[in-house]
Structure 1
Amino acid sequence: MCPNGGGEPKGKVADEINASFGSFAKFKEEFSNVAIGHFGSGWAWLVKDTASGKLKVYQTHDAGCPLTEPTLKPLLACDV
């Protein structure tokens, strides 16, 4: 977050997103749909699944956190 921030990620992050979701646009769509579609309080997460090596969109309810799952590493969180 900075005055001229934004845009699409570059480098390894972009490569990982494209490999896991097909494109940054598809990632944004999936992440947004999970966040918007969540009923009640909770979180939308971008996580790295260390078992598959892929990035995934994950949701938790209330104060849930993907740290309780041994193969998930949280990378981005959105409070919903």
Structure 2
Amino acid sequence: MSPSDFARVFKETLGQTPMQYVLAYRIEQAAQMMRDKHLHLGEITLACGFADQAHFSRSFKQVTGQTPRRFRAA
């Protein structure tokens, strides 16, 4: 199966691209980690595979609709 065939079948099956799926999973893991108030956002950022905290914050807001700070405060 070619990469483009895989991506097409993946999207037809799950309703999102492989990259969207991976991003949503990483954000879900980060959200679970943020419930632990002792973990710093920088640690969570690196543990979830983001290059830097700005990228993490943008991605988190894109997926959840709120910033990591607001999510953690709620």
Q: Same fold (TM over 0.5)?
A: no
For CA contacts below 8 A with separation 6 or more, give which structure has more relative contact order. 1
Higher helix share: 2
Larger radius of gyration: 2
Higher strand share: 1
| TM-score, normalising length: structure 2 | 0.29
